[in-house]
C-alpha cells in the first residue's frame, strides 16, 4: 500500500485565492482526519469523517474552511478565501478506528502571501 497520499506537497498562493488540498486514504480505512500543524498551536484536529460522513467539524476555524469526502478513497479540504494566518502544514490521516493508530500523509505545506 502506498500509504496516505496528499497533494500538493507545497502550495504558495496569494491572499484571497481559493486553495484545495487533497487526500487519498489507505484502502479499507474507514476514518479520515484533517489536522493543521503550526509552531504556535501544534497539531489541531480540524474535522474527521467516519464511513465518509463528517462526525465532528468543531475544529474548523471559520466558514472559510470546508471539507468533503465524496467516497471512501478521496477527501478535500478547501479554504476560500485564503488568508496569511492559514499558512501551516495540513495533514490528512486515516485509520481503521477503535484501538488502532493513525497513518499520516506527508502533509501539504501551505503558504499564503
Terminal Cα distance for the chain, rounded: 36
Give the shortest CB-73-to-other proteins separation in angstroms: 19
DSSP strand pairing (108-112 vs 65-71): unpaired
Question: Between residues 70 and 98, which has the closer beta carbon with respect to other proteins?
Answer: 98
Give the phi and the psi of residue 85 in degrees, each rounded to 5: -70, -5
Q: Which is nearer to other proteins, 81 or 102 (by Cβ)?
A: 102
Which one, 57 or 81, has the nearer CB to other proteins? 57
Cell 495540513, located at residue: 90
Based on C-alpha coordinates, what's the Rg of the chain? Answer: 13
Q: Which residues bind other proteins (CB under 8 A)?
A: 4, 31, 33, 35, 42-43, 45, 48, 50-51, 55-56, 91, 93, 95, 97-107
Amino acid at each position: 500500500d502506498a500509504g496516505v497520499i496528499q497533494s500538493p506537497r507545497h502550495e504558495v498562493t496569494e491572499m484571497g485565492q481559493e486553495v484545495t488540498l487533497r487526500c487519498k486514504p489507505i484502502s479499507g480505512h474507514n476514518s479520515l482526519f484533517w489536522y493543521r500543524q503550526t509552531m504556535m498551536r501544534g497539531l489541531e484536529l480540524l474535522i474527521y469523517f467516519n464511513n465518509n460522513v463528517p462526525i465532528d467539524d468543531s475544529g474548523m476555524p471559520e466558514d472559510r474552511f470546508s471539507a468533503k469526502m465524496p467516497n471512501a478513497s478521496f477527501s478535500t479540504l478547501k479554504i476560500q478565501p485564503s488568508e496569511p494566518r492559514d499558512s501551516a502544514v495540513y495533514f490528512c490521516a486515516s485509520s481503521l478506528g477503535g484501538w488502532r493508530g493513525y497513518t499520516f500523509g506527508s502533509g501539504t505545506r501551505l503558504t499564503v502571501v
